[in-house]
Amino acid sequence: MATEITTPNPAVDGGELIRFDNVTKRFGTNTVLDNLDFTVASGKHVTLIGPSGSGKTTILRLLMTLLRPEEGTITVDGDYLTHESKNGKLIPAGEKHTREVRKKIGMVFQQFNLFPNMRVLRNVTEAPVHVLGMGKEEAEERARGLLDLVGLGDKCDAYPTQLSGGQQQRVAIARALAMRPQVLLLDEVTSALDPELVAGVLDVLRDLAHTTDITMLCVTHEMNFARDISDDVLMFDAGRVIESGPPEKIFSDPEHERTREFLSAVL
Ligand code: ADP
């Protein structure tokens, strides 16, 4: 049987999976996200592009609850991530509530962050067993399926340091998928890799995008990859979305001068 990638949730298929409403994030006097509104529909692949410092990674870090917004609300699959409701009033979310909502989200970081003291298989089974309470046997069977999917079925017993950076990043993708997230966040996942290792990782992600129904939110400088996998591209500048649309439109016929400048610098 093919390894099932996402948690099926027909109630929200095609509906809104992520919603930012008037989100403002500041660091001191630096307003990094300015009253940001956007949504990602279930099953879609959305890419965030824009100059360095425009706030793209901050969005992913807010979704991972590594940061909290000063204003606004974030919803994941209909549940507030930033808030919870108590006696009919919205209050800032407590740790327990946040943990539950965050289970719907998987993230792959620039630096792969594998557990160096654990073999590859255990890196992938650790969270399903300890966070989701999955039985060890089931977790291992799924982990083997996922490692096959990322082309590393023969590396279950290796330690991370015995793998190339590209292979480690593919383990990190399998590890994120093992939690059956509804959305996968990808934060410049190839930027720490040697150039010859980039294609292998992007191929795995392209396959995932084209053959599964997982929702993806990517920050990337790989414009060809963004063009291949995106349903929608959001162009950021100074904490705002200045332009959005399908990749054919954004990459071939952008409306905003700032988008044209950015693309001519990176393409
Ligand atoms: P991007 O991903 O588009 O390059 P970021 O979201 O990483 O942009 O950063 C947006 C802005 O927020 C930058 O000006 C950056 O310096 C600032 N910033 C990010 N994280 C922090 C932090 N922890 N403390 C202070 N400033 C930060």
What's the whole-number mean pLDDT along residues 150-177?
Answer: 96
78: left (phi over 0), alpha (psi -120 to 50) or beta: left
Q: Which domains does the chain have, with CATH numbers?
A: 16-265 (3.40.50.300)
Residue 1 has pLDDT above 50, yes or no: no
So what's the pLDDT on residue 230?
96
So what's the pLDDT on residue 10?
39
So what's the pLDDT on residue 207?
93
What's the whole-number mean pLDDT along residues 134-157?
Answer: 97
55 lines ligand 1 (CB under 6 A): yes
54 lines ligand 1 (CB under 6 A): yes
So what's the pLDDT on residue 11?
43
CB atoms within 10 A of CB 97: 19
29 lines ligand 1 (CB under 6 A): no
Residue 263 has pLDDT above 70, yes or no: yes
So what's the pLDDT on residue 89?
87
239 lines ligand 1 (CB under 6 A): no
52 lines ligand 1 (CB under 6 A): yes
**48 CA to middle of ligand 1, Å?**
15
What's the whole-number mean pLDDT along residues 231-258?
Answer: 95
**Which of 26, 30, 191 for mutating ligand 1's site (highest number of atoms within 8 Å of CB)?**
30
DSSP annotation of 43 reads T
Residue 4 has pLDDT above 80, yes or no: no
Residue 84's nearest CA partner among 65, 56, 66, 106 is: 65
For all residues of the chain together, what is the average pLDDT?
92
Residue 9 has pLDDT above 50, yes or no: no
CA atoms of 59 and 240, how far apart (whole Å): 11
User: Could you identify the atom of ligand 1 that is nearest to the CA of residue 219?
Assistant: 2
What's the whole-number mean pLDDT along residues 23-49?
Answer: 95
Residue 46 has pLDDT above 70, yes or no: yes
**23 CA to middle of ligand 1, Å?**
15
Kindly report the protein residue whose alpha carbon is nearest to atom 18 of ligand 1: 27
| pLDDT tens for each residue of 61-108 | 999 999 999 999 999 998 999 888 888 888 889 888 898 888 999 999
> What percentage of the chain exceeds 90 in pLDDT?
83
53 lines ligand 1 (CB under 6 A): yes
Burial 150-181, CB ≥16 within 10 A → b, else e:
bbbeebbebbbeebebbbbbbbbbbbbbbbbb
Residue 243's nearest CA partner among 221, 225, 229, 259 is: 259
Can you tell me which residue has the tokens 């890196």? Answer: 123
So what's the pLDDT on residue 14?
63
So what's the pLDDT on residue 267?
81
Residue 147 has pLDDT above 90, yes or no: yes
58 lines ligand 1 (CB under 6 A): yes
11 vs 172, higher pLDDT: 172
Residue 79's nearest CA partner among 87, 68, 90 is: 90
Q: What is the ipTM of this complex?
A: 0.97
**150 CA to middle of ligand 1, Å?**
31
Phi, psi of 152, deg, nearest 5: -130, 30
Phi, psi of 220, deg, nearest 5: -150, 150
How is 148-198 classified by DSSP, letter by letter? Answer: HHTT-GGGTT--GGGS-HHHHHHHHHHHHHHT--SEEEEESTTTTS-HHHH
So what's the pLDDT on residue 173?
96
pTM of the model: 0.92
What's the whole-number mean pLDDT along residues 188-211?
Answer: 93
56 lines ligand 1 (CB under 6 A): yes
**Which of 27, 47, 185, 234 for mutating ligand 1's site (highest number of atoms within 8 Å of CB)?**
27
What's the whole-number mean pLDDT along residues 187-206?
Answer: 94
